């Protein structure tokens, strides 16, 4: 039988409802979806450790029978090959995402012409949501409850000291 396995890679610091929306969409069209957290991110110091992120995502995707969570470092194409995945799933929120995503997809294609990148768009209500904005807004005392899973809100509260007003 012909089954399609895809990797949904990212930093996920932290997981947002936009990510979850994409996972739900991806899980409907591929047989197996692996959410893969990059361990050696170049994005500076993360707020959550890799095990913390892995735990949060595992809890958040528990309801999807065909979604698993893993971590990786090195090249995404090498991880995908080791996993026997045929595709990489990425979300595009706005035109501003396109250039970066296009470059990555083309580089990954150069590195492994057999690996396809699938782009999906999250629900409109999440088009402006990013992990970076969530962290920034939460750290300044803003309400992010509609934008991340409640288990992430709890983790944010535990991680980020309450902001004293002023």
Which positions touch ligand PNS (CB under 6 A)? Answer: 9-11, 38, 43, 75-76, 104, 107-108
Least distance in Å: CB of 162 to ligand PNS?
28
Q: Is 93 a catalytic residue?
A: yes
Q: Is 130 a catalytic residue?
A: no
The answer, yes or no, to whether the previous bond of 14 is cis (omega within 30 of 0) is yes
Q: Is 5 a catalytic residue?
A: no
Give me the residue whose beta carbon is nearest to ligand PNS. Answer: 10
Least distance in Å: CB of 49 to ligand PNS?
16
Q: Which listed residue (2, 96, 130, 131) is catalytic? A: 131
Helix (H) or strand (E) holding 10: strand 5-10
Unique residue bearing structure tokens 């939460």: 138
Measure the CA–CA gap between 113 and 26, rounded to whole angstroms. 21
Q: Which listed residue (19, 53, 135, 155) is catalytic? A: 19
* Degrees, nearest 5: CA angle 22-88-126: 20
Least distance in Å: CB of 107 to ligand PNS?
4
Question: With contact defined as beta carbons under 8 Å apart, do 61 and 69 qualify?
Answer: yes
Catalytic residue list: 19, 43, 93, 131
């Amino acid at each position: 039988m012909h089954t399609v396995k895809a990797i949904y890679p990212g930093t996920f610091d932290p997981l947002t409802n936009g990510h979850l929306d994409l996972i739900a969409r991806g899980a409907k069209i591929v047989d197996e979806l692996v959410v893969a957290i990059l361990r050696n991110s170049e994005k500076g110091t993360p707020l959550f450790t890799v095990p913390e992120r892995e735990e949060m995502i595992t809890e958040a995707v528990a309801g999807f029978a065909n979604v698993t969570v893993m971590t990786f470092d090195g090249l995404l194409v090498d991880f995908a090959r080791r996993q026997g995945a045929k595709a990489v799933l990425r979300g595009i929120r706005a035109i501003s995402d396109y250039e970066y995503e296009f470059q990555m997809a083309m580089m990954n294609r150069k590195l492994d012409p057999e690996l396809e990148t699938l782009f999906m768009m999250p629900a409109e209500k999440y088009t402006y949501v990013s992990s970076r904005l969530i962290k920034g807004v939460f750290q300044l005392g803003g309400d992010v409850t509609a934008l991340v899973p409640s288990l992430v809100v709890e983790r944010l509260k535990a991680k980020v000291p309450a902001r004293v007003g002023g």
